[in-house]
Amino acid sequence: MSARVILGVGAGIAAYKACELLRRLTESGHQVRVVPTADSLRFVGAATWAALSGEPVTTSPWDGVHEVPHVRLGQEADLVFVAPATADLLARAATGQADDLLTSVLLTARCPVVFAPAMHTEMWEHPATKANVATLRSRGALVLDPASGRLTGPDTGPGRLPEPDELWRVAVRVLARGVAGLAQDLAGRRVVVSAGGTREELDPVRFLGNWSSGRQGYALAWAAVTRGAEVTLVAANVEAPAPAGATVVPVTSACQMRSAVLSAAAGADAVVMAAAVADYRPAARSEEKIKKAGTTPAPLQLVENPDILRELAAQRQPGQIITGFAAETSNLAENGRAKLAAKGCDLLVVNQVGAGLAFGTSDNAAVILAADGAVTEVPRGPKEVLADAVWDMVLARLPARS
């Protein structure tokens, strides 16, 4: 479904990334009007925005004044997405200034508003910026946390604009969920998510593993961040960029994942085990590469890995919600109910794998089974949709904040 999107562009070097976001939005069929600040045109010119969007570009409310653009654009928009949102722009938006077309649009918009900040670390961490972000969030805007990484020049740290693909996924999710896509309903909650597939080493060059890409776990972490949670993501062998705003703990094996998850789960409100954890590992790891000997190799001796989900459920803290994932190739409902009872968790997300399903794809379908008997079917769609469905069910079972 086509939507009317205002893409606001602040005066930061990261403005070039907004070009790719614009392309993704227009290729998805949305009508996008770019509203830059005057100084942002020093980084990306008006001709570029006009050519990519097919719409006129101006920074002043005095251009085309007969159409009252400073009012009409905000009133008619389905989404206002500001990227990059500089410290100056966040300050002007938080204090309700209307000294150019973009800030005027922000005041007249009655649709979801998303800010994607980008600035130097010192600016992001300054108390004034923190106060402005808190003000905007309290008014219902979605202010993303910036990514950490290389900034202008040699500087590194938090303040980097998330990559265009991540910004596009935010825009699509908010357009699909409307005002619900802005909800900070997990604010103040600590959550743990596991993602990826564990690897059990045979020797320095070989391992036992699985096909999990970690995309579903990353979608869960990303959705939780955008809903306001403090997120620890325990990632096993995932190559994707980390979701901005999440604390990532990299691991390799099932035993490493157990240690990291149990440590992070202490004091967490919810744990979602989306990782594909190996059931077995080699009884012994060779310190040297195993060579072909020209004879039939000795049988591989395996030992069982710890059952992290069952352990989490058995030692859960009062009020803590534990969610597991079950990848099945057949009899989803029957196998899922049996596993839900055996693991002792609160929720179990059962999805079919194999034949190009789930592993390594951008979409997923699942049945979410609850220990209280509730059943929620999530039809095939983007993994972010399933992630939100999981958090909706987790949130409904979390005890109210005191």
Report how far apart the first and last C-alpha atoms of the chain are (Å, whole number). 41
Burial 253-279 (b: 16+ CB within 10 A, else e): bbbbbbbbbbebbeebbbbbbbbbbbe
Q: Report CA-CA distances (Å) from 333 to 229, 337, 371.
A: 31, 6, 13
Cβ-proximal residues to 385 (8 Å cutoff; 6+ apart), any chain: 176, 378
Taking CA 249 as the corner, what is the angle to CA 245 and CA 250, rounded to the nearest 5 degrees?
125
State the CB neighbour count (10 A cutoff) for residue 208: 17
Show which residues are catalytic.
210
Sheet containing 142-143: which strands, arranged edge to edge?
Answer: 31-36, 4-9, 79-85, 113-117, 142-143
Burial 120-144 (b: 16+ CB within 10 A, else e): bbebbeeeebeebbebbbeeebbbb
Which residue in 257, 204, 254, 255 sits closest to 233, CA to CA?
Answer: 257
State residue 12 phi and psi, 5-degree precision. -135, 155
Please tell me whether the peptide bond between 84 and the residue prior to it is cis, using omega within 30 degrees of 0: yes
